[in-house]
């Protein structure tokens, strides 16, 4: 898919400023859009929006369809009348790093109160919108609200530890719980309604300003999710609904034992029998929330590394073929030209490249990977194709300043030689390379634009703790910074209105 030259910023909403524990979909999100517009930036890339579980990773969600209630703006609930100003008075938390636990407790206390107000006194228009949302999204919403309500009922245990009749979804047991948990189900429905009410309002504002949103779709789903509980037939599970094969990547020069992610693998033959209906519903709903969509671990649509569930490392896995061409052909038949981006990083073979190119999907190029070999390195700017997105780094990498400070001397010499200056100004020299490259799209993590060191790193793969918590401060988005970006975007032909 041909795209106009554009630049973008990578920033997950949790990294926005805000008074209630972490970034949300309120006023600061709109101010961030305004900053993008001032900088001539027309793309905002985010991470997955699903409800996070253990570790607060957006790549491990309780649902592939639901939104994260931690992103609900409490101030926006006051503005629409579901909360009173005094309800959130004194609830402000310290700005700075995200405090997921505090944000969770605050919303756990206030969302039921807001739901009661909405159901008792909500306007007719919003009540009609709520009813329409519940009807339109019932195919995933009803299983999700029951899943979350039952999970709370069973002390937040994983669903494979629930009583047998509930774990196996026996109709009589589920109907009994639906009757007993009427109010709890209503609160979860309300939380999903207001999340998407706020999200679609933010998306409309961004689009009106000429900013397009790039979403993120993990290929796999979490084992402890409404998706696996509600459709166990789509996954490799045993008679006790526990995974028999799990996802990961094989040993490589990064890890002698590979990576064991633990996500259950799909029964692709079952998905194909239904003409990939589950994937079509997932893509339809996710694409409605964004303008383009990055597909995480694209390599897994050719073959995935299947690890026996009892193994503690990824060393004894094997490649399992995946009907990726059939899947994307079915998606293309349904949606037409696919506004997708292939996350094609790592060790990619010709089969993966052929699948990507068969459907015209742009890949990703990371400048931090460009200086560990010679002039044929595919990430160097002079080797980039137009149909790609170039990044200084991603959420899984060090910040560019942190990368530079830790870079080995041979690679440093390559950077100096390539830039043609003895004292590189990092990260801005790499930002300059990205923006002035031939790539159709250039994406910069906000941490690089702000010149942050590795204390601002978003994620360290393989380290499950202390991730996802970086946030910027309101004063960081200075007008001078927007002006600097706008000038670079203007000269490089990426400015949307110049």
Q: Active-site residues: which are they?
A: 296, 343, 396
Give CA–CA dist 186/424, Å, rounded: 57
Q: How many CB atoms lie within 10 A of CB 272?
A: 13
Give CA–CA dist 58/62, Å, rounded: 10
Q: Tokens for 148?
A: 């979350």
Q: What is the DSSP letter of 51?
A: P
CB contact set of 94 (below 8 Å; sequence gap of 6+): none
End-to-end C-alpha distance for the chain, whole angstroms: 23
- Cβ proximity of 384 and 439 under 8 Å: yes
Give CA–CA dist 447/98, Å, rounded: 15
Beta strands in 291-415 (DSSP E): 292-295, 303-308, 318-321, 340-342, 363-366, 388-391
Q: Tokens for 270?
A: 């079952």
Q: Which helix (H) or strand (E) holds 92?
A: none
Give the dihedral sign, CA 486/489/492/494: negative
Measured in whole angstroms, how far is the alpha carbon of residue 91 from the centre of its chain?
27
Give CA–CA dist 186/130, Å, rounded: 11
Which phi and psi (to 5°) does residue 307 adopt? -110, 125
DSSP string, 340-375: EEE---SS--HHHHHHHHHTT--EEEEGGGTTSS-T
- Cβ proximity of 241 and 170 under 8 Å: no
The residue to which tokens 């910069």 are assigned = 444
Give CA–CA dist 100/18, Å, rounded: 13
Give CA–CA dist 110/106, Å, rounded: 6
Angle at the Cα of 474 (from 472 to 480), degrees rounded to 5?
A: 95
CB contact set of 11 (below 8 Å; sequence gap of 6+): 32, 44, 45, 46, 445, 446
């Amino acid at each position: 898919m041909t795209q106009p030259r554009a630049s973008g910023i990578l920033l997950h909403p949790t990294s926005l400023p805000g008074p209630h524990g972490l970034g949300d979909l309120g006023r600061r999100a709109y101010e961030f859009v305004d900053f993008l517009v001032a900088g001539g930036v027309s793309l905002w890339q985010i991470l997955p929006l699903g409800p996070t579980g253990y570790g607060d990773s957006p790549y491990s969600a309780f649902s592939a369809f639901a939104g994260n209630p931690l992103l609900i703006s409490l101030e926006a609930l006051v503005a629409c009348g579901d909360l009173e100003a005094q309800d959130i008075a004194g609830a402000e938390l310290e700005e700075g790093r995200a405090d997921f636990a505090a944000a969770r407790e605050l919303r756990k206390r206030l969302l039921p109160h807001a739901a009661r107000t909405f159901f008792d006194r909500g306007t007719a228009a919003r009540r009609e919108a709520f009813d329409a949302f519940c009807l339109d999204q019932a195919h995933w919403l009803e299983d999700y609200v029951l899943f979350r309500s039952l999970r709370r009922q069973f002390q937040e245990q994983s669903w494979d530890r629930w009583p047998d009749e509930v774990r196996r979804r026996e109709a009589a047991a589920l109907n009994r719980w639906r009757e007993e948990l009427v109010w709890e189900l209503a609160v979860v429905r309300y939380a999903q309604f207001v999340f998407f009410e706020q999200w679609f309002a933010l998306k409309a504002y961004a689009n009106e300003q000429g900013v397009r949103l790039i979403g993120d779709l993990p290929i796999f789903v979490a084992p402890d999710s409404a998706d696996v509980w509600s459709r166990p037939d789509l996954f490799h599970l045993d008679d006790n609904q526990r995974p028999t094969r799990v996802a990961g990547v094989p040993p490589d020069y990064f890890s002698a034992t590979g990576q064991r992610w633990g996500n259950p693998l799909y029964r692709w033959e079952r998905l194909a029998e239904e003409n990939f209906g589950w994937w079509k519903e997932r893509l339809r709903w996710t694409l409605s929330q964004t303008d383009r969509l990055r597909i995480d671990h694209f390599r897994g649509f050719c073959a995935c590394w299947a690890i026996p569930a009892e193994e503690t490392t990824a060393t004894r896995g094997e490649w399992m073929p995946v009907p990726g061409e059939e899947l994307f052909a079915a998606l293309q038949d349904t949606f037409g030209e696919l506004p997708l981006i292939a996350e094609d990083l790592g060790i990619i073979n010709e089969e993966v490249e052929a699948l990507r190119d068969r459907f015209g999907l742009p890949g990703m190029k990371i400048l931090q990977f460009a200086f560990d070999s010679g002039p044929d390195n595919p990430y160097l700017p002079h080797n980039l194709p137009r149909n790609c997105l170039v990044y200084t780094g991603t959420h899984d990498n060090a910040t560019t300043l942190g990368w530079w400070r830790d870079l080995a001397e041979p690679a440093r010499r390559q950077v100096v030689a390539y830039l043609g200056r003895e004292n590189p100004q990092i990260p801005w020299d790499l930002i300059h390379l990205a923006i002035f490259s031939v790539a159709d799209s250039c994406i910069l993590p906000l941490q690089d634009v702000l010149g942050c060191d590795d204390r601002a790193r978003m994620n360290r793969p393989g380290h499950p703790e202390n991730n996802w918590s970086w946030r910027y401060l309101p004063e960081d988005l200075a007008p001078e910074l927007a002006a600097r970006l706008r000038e670079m975007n203007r000269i490089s032909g990426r400015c949307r209105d110049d």
